[in-house]
Amino acid sequence: RKEVEQDPGPFNVPEGATVAFNCTYSNSASQSFFWYRQDCRKEPKLLMSVYSSGNEDGRFTAQLNRASQYISLLIRDSKLSDSATYLCVVKRNTGNQFYFGTGTSLTVIP
Amino acid sequence: EAGVAQSPRYKIIEKRQSVAFWCNPISGHATLYWYQQILGQGPKLLIQFQNNGVVDDSQLPKDRFSAERLKGVDSTLKIQPAKLEDSAVYLCASSPPPTTSGRWYEQYFGPGTRLTVT
């Protein structure tokens, strides 16, 4: 089983829509969680860290469910500029690796 | 603040040739990572350095890949000899060291080197 699994999509949504991505992780000892955004032919950039209590940054909300071992990202009022691939990243509390999902592709349509 | 620098940005080589990539992390970042990202996949860690020591190289194909970070600052990744399946983007990332409580910081990525092996 993969360490981190994401639905690759693609998700095609109209402007202004709300879209949610889920990501599951296999190791219950995972400690740190992040969402990264990667534009086409660019490097990944941190979108937000995910905290146990959930956190919000403008139109973006991240949630962590440790019992079910999944992380979610909610984007409200989608903009054309939100079109990108969203990578879920998980770090265990032992070992050193950050584990990346394959990414979920989002296209926001005018 | 300057970001992670990588060079070259693009490289095309024939199989069985050698290639080297260079990375300069953000100043003060003790941890440096090399990732391989194949088209359509997430980044896969090749090697992780803490200062000039190797922390994790479990997924580095050591028969052909090597990396060093001699002075604990910049780093080079080498492939010798290259295979067709090495065609990918090679990403370098850096981060501050983890806190004493074990919390890890996010990583900052360089622009990557796009390698094509023909």
List, for residues B66-112, the tens digit of each pLDDT value. Answer: 999 988 899 999 999 999 999 999 999 998 877 766 666 788 999 99
Return the residue of B nearest to A47 by Cα. B106
The maximal CA–CA distance of chain B, rounded, in angstroms, is 47
Residue A81 backbone dihedrals phi, psi, to 5 degrees:
-70, -10
The pLDDT-based confidence of B43 (bands split at 50, 70, 90) is: very high
DSSP E strands in chain A: the ranges are 4-6, 11-14, 19-25, 30-38, 44-50, 55-57, 60-65, 70-75, 84-92, 98-100, 104-109
Instruction: Determine the average pLDDT of the residues in B14-23.
Output: 97
- Which pLDDT score is estimated for B74? 95
Q: Cβ of B42 and A102 within 8 Å?
A: yes
pLDDT at B38 over 70: yes
Q: Cβ of A96 and B102 within 8 Å?
A: no
Q: Cβ of B104 and A31 within 8 Å?
A: yes
Option in A8, A44, A93 nearest B102 (CB): A93
Return the residue of B nearest to A102 by Cα. B42
The shortest C-alpha distance from A45 to chain B (Å) reads: 7
Would you call B25 an interface residue with chain A, using a CB distance cutoff of 8 Å?
no
Helix ranges, chain A (H)? none
- Which pLDDT score is estimated for B105? 76
- Which pLDDT score is estimated for B102? 62
* Nearest one of B16, B31, B11 to B92, comparing CA atoms: B31
Which residues of chain A approach chain B closer than 8 Å at the C-beta? Answer: 4, 8, 31-32, 34, 41-46, 49, 87, 91, 93, 95-98, 100-103
The shortest C-alpha distance from B5 to chain A (Å) reads: 12
- Which pLDDT score is estimated for B103? 63
- Which pLDDT score is estimated for A61? 97
Q: Distances from the Cα of B13 to the Cαs of B10, B16, B39, B87, in angstroms?
A: 10, 9, 18, 10
- Which pLDDT score is estimated for A89? 94
- Which pLDDT score is estimated for A7? 87
Q: Which residue has the tokens 């349509």?
A: A109
Would you call B104 an interface residue with chain A, using a CB distance cutoff of 8 Å?
yes
Residues of chain A with pLDDT under 50: none
- Which pLDDT score is estimated for A27? 83
- Which pLDDT score is estimated for A91? 86
Q: Cβ of A44 and B106 within 8 Å?
A: no
- Which pLDDT score is estimated for B72? 83
Option in B43, B44, B106 nearest A34 (CB): B106
Angle at B78 between CA B72 and CA B84, to 5 degrees: 150
